[in-house]
Amino acid sequence: MRVRSRPRSLIKIATLTAWGPRMTSLLFAMAALVLFVMSFASPNNMRTLRTGAADMFAPVLSAVNYPIEQAAAYVRAVTGIAELQGENARLLQENARLREWYHAAMQLKNDNASLQKLLKVQIEPQHTFITARIIADSDTAFVRSILVLAGSENGVDEAQAVLGGEGLMGRVVEVGKKSSRVLLLTDMNARVPVFVGNENIRAMLAGNNTDNPEIIHLPPQTTVKAGDRVTTSGHGGLYPHGLPIGEVVAMSDGSLRVRLYADIDRTNYVRVVKRTDDPNLRIAPVSVPAAD
Amino acid sequence: MARRRKSRHSGISEISFSRRGLETIFRLLIVYAMLGLLFLLNLTAVPVPHAGLIKPHLVLMAVYYWAIFRPTLIPTWLCFIVGILLDILSGMPPGLQAFVLVVTQSLVRDQRKFLMAQPYISIWAIFGLVVAMAAAIQWVLYGLANDMQWLALTPLAASVLVTFCLFPVVSMALIATHRMLSPGPRNSYS
CATH number of B167's domain: 1.10.1760
Q: What is the pLDDT of residues A220-231, one digit of tens each?
A: 888 888 888 999
pTM score: 0.64
Average pLDDT for B143-169: 82
Average pLDDT for A246-256: 80
Banded model confidence at residue A141, pLDDT cuts 50, 70, 90 = low
Least confident of A171-180, A283-292, B104-113: A283-292
* Residue B2 within a domain: no
A32/B51 Cβ within 8 A: no
For residue B80, the model assigns a pLDDT of 92
Least confident of A16-20, A72-76, A114-118, B59-63: A16-20
Nearest CA in chain B to A145: B91
Q: What is the pLDDT of residues A205-218, one digit of tens each?
A: 998 888 889 888 88
Average pLDDT for B72-99: 87
The answer on pLDDT for A137 being more than 90 is: no
A209/B152 Cβ within 8 A: yes
For residue B101, the model assigns a pLDDT of 92
Query: What residues contact residue A232 under an 8 Å CB cut-off, 6+ apart?
Result: A161, A168, A192, A193, A194, A195, A239, A240, A241, A242, A243, A245
* Residue B80 within a domain: yes
Structurally, chain B folds into a number of domains equal to: 1
How many Cβ pairs within 8 Å bridge chains A and B? 169
User: Which H or E run includes A15?
Assistant: helix A14-19
Please state, rounded to an integer, the average pLDDT across all residues of chain B: 80
Banded model confidence at residue B187, pLDDT cuts 50, 70, 90 = very low
Other Cβ atoms less than 10 A from the Cβ of A13: the count is 12
Banded model confidence at residue A287, pLDDT cuts 50, 70, 90 = very low
Q: Domain span at residue B59?
A: 17-180
**B12 neighbors B72 (Cβ within 8 angstroms):** yes
Residues of A in contact with B53 (CB under 8 A): 139-141
Query: Is B109 in CB contact (< 8 Å) with chain A?
Result: yes
* Residue B162 within a domain: yes
Helical ranges in B5-53 per DSSP H: 19-43
Please state, rounded to an integer, the average pLDDT across all residues of chain A: 78
Q: What is the pLDDT of residues A24-40, one digit of tens each?
A: 888 888 988 888 888 77
Query: What residues contact residue B42 under an 8 Å CB cut-off, 6+ apart?
Result: B55, B56, B57, B58, B59, B86
* Residue B129 within a domain: yes
Average pLDDT for A5-10: 49
Segment 8-47 of chain B within 8 Å of chain A by CB = 12-16, 40-41, 43-47
A36/B95 Cβ within 8 A: yes
Residue A99 vs residue B145, higher pLDDT:
A99
**B127 neighbors B164 (Cβ within 8 angstroms):** yes
Residues of A in contact with B134 (CB under 8 A): none
Q: What is the pLDDT of residues A120-132, one digit of tens each?
A: 655 555 677 888 8
Q: What percent of chain A has pLDDT over 70?
A: 78
The answer on pLDDT for A292 being more than 80 is: no
For residue A194, the model assigns a pLDDT of 93
Burial class for A65, CB neighbours closer than 10 Å (0-12, 13-18, 19+): buried
Point out the residue among B51, B141, B149 whose CB comes nearest to the CB of A137: B51
Report ipTM for this prediction: 0.73
Q: What is the pLDDT of residues B109-154, one digit of tens each?
A: 888 888 888 899 999 999 999 999 999 998 888 888 777 777 778 8
The answer on pLDDT for A14 being more than 80 is: no
Segment 151-190 of chain B within 8 Å of chain A by CB = 151-152, 155-156, 159
Query: What residues contact residue B13 under an 8 Å CB cut-off, 6+ apart?
Result: A9, A10, A11, B72, B75
For residue A245, the model assigns a pLDDT of 92
Q: Class assignment of domain A46-284? A: mainly beta
For residue A159, the model assigns a pLDDT of 83
A220 vs A194: CA distance, rounded Å: 16
